[in-house]
Amino acid sequence: MAEFEASRTVPVPPERLFEVAADVERMAAWVPMADEVHGAGADRVHLDGRDGEQDALFRARPEQRRLEWGTEADGSYAGWLQVYASGTDDRASEVNLHLSFLGDQPQAHGGAAARDVQAELERALEALAGLATSG
């Protein structure tokens, strides 16, 4: 098992940042491994991307400004995204992005695969911040 996490401050209100992150139709613009993402029913999404096509569990919790997702078939992968108000300023947000590899994937063994995951987390947060601040 391996855990990865990254965080970033974004100069937009937390509600705005969560709204952008939770928009399934815009996820491919900030999720590095996804070329296309579509809703696939209650609490599910369909991804088409680098690792092929797959359905995944997906839950948005607006009251908590939290997203949760994971693989449905084998439970080998899960993640969450949490948006917070940054300090006492309602005009800025803090976003945490967390991934868990729960199986025997290469990412769980360190090395280049693990470094790639960490870099992808940083790129995802950068792209999400760009989407949220661009309007």
pLDDT at 60: 95
pLDDT at 93: 95
Residues of the chain with pLDDT under 70: 103, 105-110, 135
What total of structural domains would you count in the chain?
1
Counting Cα atoms < 13 Å in the Cβ hemisphere of 124 gives 25
pLDDT at 51: 73
pLDDT at 103: 67
pTM of the model: 0.87
Range of the domain at 103: 2-133
Give every strand in the sheet of 34-39, ordered side by side.
2-10, 89-101, 77-86, 66-71, 52-61, 44-49, 34-39
CATH number at residue 64: 3.30.530.20
